[in-house]
């Protein structure tokens, strides 16, 4: 690939953080791009996503996930049609993989909606039967050597934990038993770290191989993926995906492999990316230091006007 052919713009579909109807419901109703995508989702599922989302008390329910997907795709529609964003490469960390799959044409949006709903049901069933008390906690400003000492205590007691994400320097996601959560928070605080939020159920942990197997055998065979029309960077290790089979593996890897955002950033930089457009409700990825310091960042999503942020000088 020559310098003139190197991609310069990436579209990033963010992972899903805690959200509520009050935060994004207005966007679903008022934004024309969201209304169009919402109508497609309703038709694909045979029920009103808006109504179920409004009634849901679970931050990661089936309807909440579909609403997040709708908003992410609607934001991408706006970025392309109104801002003229023409991405050369695509990334979808964590839940963002799903919107990325539709955006690159590997699965039509209505089918992607149905796939997302089925995956959500399988996740709910799995965590009802297995790892009922598992959570994933996110924290930052945590020195790696001090964190290693904390986790060594878990090892000494034979207590389960898994890394679920590496987001930035000292910025991690750890899955563990809920009964251990308060103790972890206290230890993180004592070493100068800051706790963010806790996800229930847990995500991206090697312990969840059985969930991966169930989805691989029961769900994905119903859907015929196409080769992506844009290269896709996996969130697990920064590998570039160019085929349907590779994308299918990426979708399965999300269940039992931790995300590694710095490796994604390294791949994008190596590909010549200078600008990233983060499309959807994002409270995390556009704020990470490794994102801000390496790219011009454009954010498009509910509750915000599109804005640019130039990379910082080092």
Give tens-digit pLDDT for 41-82. 999 999 999 999 998 878 788 999 999 999 999 999 999 999
Q: Are residues 279 and 235 in the same domain?
A: yes
Which DSSP category does 15 fall into? P
Tell me which of 142, 170, 199 is where a domain ends. 199
User: Are the C-beta atoms of residues 165 and 260 closer than 8 Å to each other?
Assistant: yes
Q: Are residues 112 and 214 in the same domain?
A: yes
Sign of the C-alpha dihedral computed for residues 215, 216, 222 and 226 taken in this order: positive
User: Domains in the chain: how many in total?
Assistant: 2
Tell me which of 146, 169, 199 is where a domain ends. 199
Q: What is the CATH number of the domain that holds 279?
A: 3.40.366.10
Q: Are residues 105 and 177 in the same domain?
A: no
pLDDT in tens, 133-186: 999 999 999 999 999 999 999 999 999 999 999 999 999 999 999 999 999 999
CA-closest candidate to residue 257, choices 199, 210, 208, 206:
206
Percent of the chain with pLDDT over 70: 93
Q: Are residues 122 and 211 in the same domain?
A: yes
Q: Are residues 32 and 124 in the same domain?
A: yes
pLDDT in tens, 260-280: 999 999 999 999 999 999 999
Domain of 163 in residue numbering reads as: 134-199
Q: Are residues 226 and 294 in the same domain?
A: yes
Q: What is the CATH number of the domain that holds 195?
A: 3.30.70.240
**Residue 116: HSE in the Cβ half-sphere, 13 Å Cα cutoff:** 32
User: Are the C-beta atoms of residues 90 and 228 closer than 8 Å to each other?
Assistant: yes
Residues 6+ apart with CB under 8 A from 100: 13, 90, 91, 92, 232
Residue 270 lies in a domain: yes
Residue 1 lies in a domain: no
- What pTM does this model have? 0.91
């Amino acid at each position: 690939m020559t310098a003139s052919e190197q991609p310069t713009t990436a579209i990033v579909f963010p992972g899903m953080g805690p959200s509520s109807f009050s935060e994004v419901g207005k966007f679903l109703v008022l934004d024309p791009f969201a209304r169009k995508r919402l109508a497609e989702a309703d038709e694909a599922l045979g029920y009103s996503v808006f109504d179920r989302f409004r009634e849901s008390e679970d931050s990661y329910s089936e309807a909440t996930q579909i609403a997040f997907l709708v908003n992410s795709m609607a934001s991408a529609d706006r970025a392309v049609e109104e801002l003229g964003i023409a991405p050369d490469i695509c990334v979808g960390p964590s839940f963002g993989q799903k919107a990325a799959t539709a955006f690159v044409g590997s699965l039509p949006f209505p089918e992607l909606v149905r796939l997302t709903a089925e995956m959500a049901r399988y996740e709910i069933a799995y965590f009802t039967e297995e790892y009922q008390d598992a959570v994933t906690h996110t924290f930052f400003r945590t020195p790696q050597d001090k964190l290693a000492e904390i986790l060594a205590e878990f090892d000494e007691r034979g207590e389960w934990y898994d890394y679920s994400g590496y987001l930035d320097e000292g910025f991690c996601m750890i899955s563990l038993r809920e009964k251990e959560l308060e103790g972890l928070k206290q230890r993180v605080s004592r070493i100068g770290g800051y706790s963010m939020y806790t996800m229930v159920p847990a995500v991206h942990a090697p312990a969840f191989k059985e969930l991966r197997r169930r989805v691989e055998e029961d769900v994905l065979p119903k859907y015929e993926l196409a080769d992506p029309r844009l290269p896709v960077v996996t969130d697990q290790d920064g590998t570039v995906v160019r085929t349907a089979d590779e994308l299918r593996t990426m979708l399965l890897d999300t269940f039992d492999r931790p995300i590694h955002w710095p490796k994604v950033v390294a791949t994008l930089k190596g590909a010549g990316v200078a600008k990233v457009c983060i499309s959807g409700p994002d409270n995390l990825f556009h704020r990470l230091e490794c994102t801000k310091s390496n790219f011009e960042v454009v954010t498009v999503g509910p509750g915000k006007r599109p804005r640019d942020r130039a990379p910082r000088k080092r």
